[in-house]
Every structure is written in C-alpha cells, then in structure tokens.
C-alpha cells in the first residue's frame, strides 16, 4: 500500500527540514513518494529542496494558497493513497502504518487522521512532553497504549489527512474557493460524508503539530480574519452552520448506560453524540432529525434516521424495545414537551432511561436582562428564538411524572458569570431573606447553564 505524501511549503525552512527528516526516519522509503509544493518561499526553502533528489518538487512564483497547492500535488501523485501534510509537523513511529490500517479497514472509510498535540476537535490529546526532544518517547508510549484503536468522527483536520484517491476522484479535490486555508478541510469532509463515507481517527498514530506556522510566517495574512472570511464562505456554500452539528456531547454520553443496546437519539443532528456512544460500546442507534443534510450524514452511522417533526412522528418502532431515549436540547423547542416525554416513554423497556438536557432559565444570561426589563430573543443561547418552554432546577421534574419515572441523576453544565454579577445576586438573596423571602436559588443557579437529567422508567401503580 504505497502513499503519495503532499507537503506545502511557504518559508519556515526549519520546520520543513524537521518534517521531511521525520518522514524518512519513520517511514519506509520504498512505500512512499514525497511531493513538495512550494508557494514562493524566499528563505532558502527552494535551495534546500533542490538538494533533495528523492522528492518531487513543484515551484509556484507566489503563494497560491493551501487548496490550490494540495490540488497541484495530487495531480502529480502516482499512488492510490494520498496524504496531505503540513510542513510544520513532525511524524513519529508507525504514524502512517496505523492510518493506512484504518483507511483500508472497511470500504466505507474514506479518510483518516492521527491524534496530535495541537489541533482542533477530537484529534487533540493531552501531552506530557515540553520539548520535541522528548516527542519520540511520548509518542511511542502513548501509541502502544492505544495500539490498534480508532474511532469514528464527523470531522478531520487537514494538517495531516490521509484519503483514498478513488474517493477524492469521486467527491472532488479541495475547493479553491477557500483562499489560503481554513474550512477547505471541513468542506472536503462534508462532501465525503454526504457521499456515504466514514471518517476515522487512528488513535495510535501521533503527529506533532507546531500549528499555524505558515500563517504566522506570512505577514500579509491575518489568520483570524482569514478564518472569519472562509467561515462565511462555508456558510454561503452550504447554507447551514456545519459547526453546530459536528461536536459530540460527552456529558450526554456519560449518562447513557454502557450496557444499552438500542438507543433513540431525538434531534440527532449529524449523529456526533451517537457516534461517540458507538465508539464506546456496541449498540444500534436510531435518530430523529429535521435537517435533511444532517440526517443524511447520520444515516451513514445510525441503524435508521427518521426525518420528521418530533411532536408529530409515528415511530415504526416496537413498544418497550428501547434501552435509552436521548433528548439533548430538544424539549425546550417543543410546544408540549410534557406530553412528548410521556408519549415516547411507551417505546422504553421497563427500567429504560431518558437522558435529556435543557437550558436553565435562571442563569444570569437570561435573569439579569429580565431584571432590567428585557426579554430579547437571540439566535443562540438560553433565549434562542426557537425556544418555546423554559425550565429551572425546581421545574425540570415536571417533565417526568412520578407514576412513570424516577430521576436517577442530575448534573449541570456551568457557564461562569462576572464576579460583580454574582455579588449582586448574593446581595439580592441576602436582602430578600430579611423580608422572609427565600431566593437562595438565584445565587446558587445563576452559573448553571444546562440541566442534565437521567430518568428511569418505573411504571408505579396507583
């Protein structure tokens, strides 16, 4: 299984040397070709590359950007495995072997990435080394502990991305609409997912990433402004905010019993949380989702996804067949969440559980403006304009009537508020107590942003 490794360079010669040296230290030369696309470096990079007779070189007179450079490299590649690699990386032992194993573990796998010290999303891991001289020891120890392990994800970062050529031929190259860099990798991942392919992380492949070295070395580019512009381009191209759907909810996953076999994810989005559950345990996931693009992606991973309104759906699922039903930030959007919970409970097995999260309307984000006479809806947050119902710690239990449920666990997600606001609500509670009015819940709850509940079906008879 031979691989074409495509590296883009734009100055940062020292990083490029580290990257190429590490490739030849930890990769069988007979199994790879290295293609370097230089985007007009002026720091001696071209002279250094000219001395490396074993690599292919493409020289551009100016910086044509990440997408254009990668596409040039792919056009020159001769192997069926294509790997895009930033020049500010250092690879480690078995890095490529582990990724190739996962790429060819199943025909449905389209792209694979490694874990790293400096990357966004689920590829980021905690590291203990402070200096690259300790990198190899850390990587070997970490990867041995993760040997042959992997997980499915909805997003991979382009700093080190391995793909099957046939899939790139099918879905297309990097979109050069995204200038220089940012969101071209998100766009490529989304196109692969929409074609039915899976994305994986090889957990036993570690690649060190300095991060944004090329951007920082280009005084003409503002990385934050570039990110903003390409984010707007992504929204313009796809007409929906992909970032809203790709992040799993680990706090929800933690509340799902590890022995659960059949799980319904209501409002499943693209399936990020369900995928995390399936990475942890063997189970069948079912979903309900209104957004058709997200639902089509979730279908790649879930047993079945129903594109429907939650309150009107007639589920073709047997009663008392589900171990878990998840309502993650769904109930507050419904006209009648109380009846919905009762109606869905018939699909739960005896002792099955509902796991839900709802925003806490007593958080300072909503409460302080209310005290100032404002109740203004926004595009996100507790006062999201699509929220129809509001709950507090004292009213969340109304969703789970005692004849049907027993609340087993309540957890909280916190969002800190300014010290002066905390002090204000403490003073309000203290003053109210002088008049015999108990409002202690205000000072206790103003930092609780979400309430997470695990409730077990019990069916208590009268």
* pLDDT, tens digit, 9 for 90 and up, residues 131-176: 999 999 999 999 999 999 999 999 999 999 999 999 999 999 999 9
Question: What distance in Å separates the CA atoms of residue 393 and residue 283, rounded to the nearest whole number?
Answer: 31
Domain boundaries, the chain: 3-239, 250-457
- State the Rg of the chain over Cα: 26
Cβ-contact 320, 344 below 8 angstroms: no
Burial of 438 (0-12, 13-18, 19+ CB in 10 A): exposed
Write the CATH number of the domain with boundaries 250-457: 3.40.50.150
Cβ-contact 16, 87 below 8 angstroms: yes
Cβ-contact 26, 114 below 8 angstroms: no
H or E stretch at 384: none
Task: Convert the pLDDT of each residue in 230-284 to its tens digit.
Answer: 889 988 999 888 888 889 999 999 999 999 999 999 999 999 999 999 999 999 9
Provide the 3-class DSSP secondary structure of residue 17.
helix
What's the mean per-residue pLDDT of the chain? 93
Question: What distance in Å separates the CA atoms of residue 67 and residue 232, rounded to the nearest whole number?
Answer: 17
Class of the domain covering 3-239: alpha beta
Q: How confident is the model at residue 67 (pLDDT cuts 50, 70, 90)?
A: very high
Q: How many CB atoms lie within 10 A of CB 127?
A: 17
Q: Which two tokens stand for residue 80?
A: 């069926």
Provide the 3-class DSSP secondary structure of residue 86.
strand
What do you get for the CA distance between the two ends of the chain, in Å? 67
Helix axes 364-371, 419-434, angle to 10 degrees: 60
Which residues, listed in sequence order, are joined to residue 410 by a DSSP beta bridge? Answer: 453
Cβ-contact 400, 356 below 8 angstroms: no
Question: What distance in Å separates the CA atoms of residue 178 and residue 247, rounded to the nearest whole number?
Answer: 22
* Cα dihedral sign, 166-175-228-448: negative
Task: Convert the pLDDT of each residue in 408-452 to its tens digit.
Answer: 999 999 999 999 998 998 888 888 888 888 776 777 789 999 999
Average pLDDT, integer, range 89-106: 97
H or E stretch at 418: none
Q: Tell me what pLDDT residue 222 has.
A: 75
């Amino acid at each position: 299984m031979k691989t074409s490794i495509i590296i883009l360079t734009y100055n940062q010669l020292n990083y490029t040397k580290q990257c190429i040296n590490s490739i030849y230290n930890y990769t069988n030369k007979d199994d790879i070709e290295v293609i370097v696309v230089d985007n007009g470096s002026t720091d001696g990079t071209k002279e250094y590359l000219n001395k490396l007779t074993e690599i292919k070189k493409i020289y551009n007179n100016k910086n044509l950007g990440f997408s254009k450079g990668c596409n040039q490299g792919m056009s020159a590649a001769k192997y069926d495995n294509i790997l895009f690699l930033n020049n500010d990386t250092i690879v480690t032992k078995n890095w490529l072997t582990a990724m190739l194993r996962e790429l060819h573990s199943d025909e449905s796998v389209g792209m694979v990435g490694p874990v790293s010290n400096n990357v966004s999303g689920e590829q980021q891991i905690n590291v203990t080394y402070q200096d690259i001289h300790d990198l190899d020891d850390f990587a070997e120890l970490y990867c041995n502990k993760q040997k042959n392990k992997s997980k499915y994800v909805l997003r991979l970062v382009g700093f080190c991305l391995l793909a099957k050529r046939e899939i790139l031929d099918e879905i297309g190259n990097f979109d050069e609409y995204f200038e220089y860099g940012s969101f071209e990798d998100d766009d490529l991942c989304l196109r692969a997912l929409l074609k039915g392919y899976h994305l994986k992380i090889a957990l036993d492949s570690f690649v060190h990433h300095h991060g944004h070295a090329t951007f920082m070395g280009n005084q003409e580019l503002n990385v934050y402004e570039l990110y903003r512009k390409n984010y707007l381009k992504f929204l313009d191209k796809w007409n929906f905010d992909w970032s809203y759907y790709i992040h799993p909810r680990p706090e929800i996953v933690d509340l799902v019993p590890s022995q659960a076999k059949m799980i319904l994810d209501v409002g499943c989005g693209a399936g990020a949380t369900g995928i995390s559950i399936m990475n942890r345990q063997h189970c069948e996931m079912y979903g309900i989702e209104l957004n058709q693009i997200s639902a089509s992606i979730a279908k790649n991973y879930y047993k079945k996804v129903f594109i429907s309104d939650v309150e009107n759906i007639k589920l073709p699922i047997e009663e008392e067949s589900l171990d878990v039903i998840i309502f993650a930030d769904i109930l507050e959007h419904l006209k009648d969440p109380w009846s919905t919970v009762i109606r869905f409970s018939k699909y739960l097995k005896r002792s099955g559980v509902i796991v839900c999260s709802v925003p806490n309307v007593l958080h300072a984000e909503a409460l302080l403006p209310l005290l100032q006479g404002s109740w203004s809806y926004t595009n996100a947050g507790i006062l999201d304009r699509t929220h129809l119902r509001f709950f507090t710690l004292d009213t969340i239990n109304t969703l789970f009537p005692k004849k049907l449920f027993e609340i087993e666990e309540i957890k909280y997600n916190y969002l800190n508020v300014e010290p002066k606001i905390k002090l204000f609500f403490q003073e309000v509670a203290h003053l109210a107590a002088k008049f015999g009015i108990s409002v202690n819940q205000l000072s206790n709850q103003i930092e609780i942003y979400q309430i997470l509940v695990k409730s077990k079906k019990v069916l208590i008879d009268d």
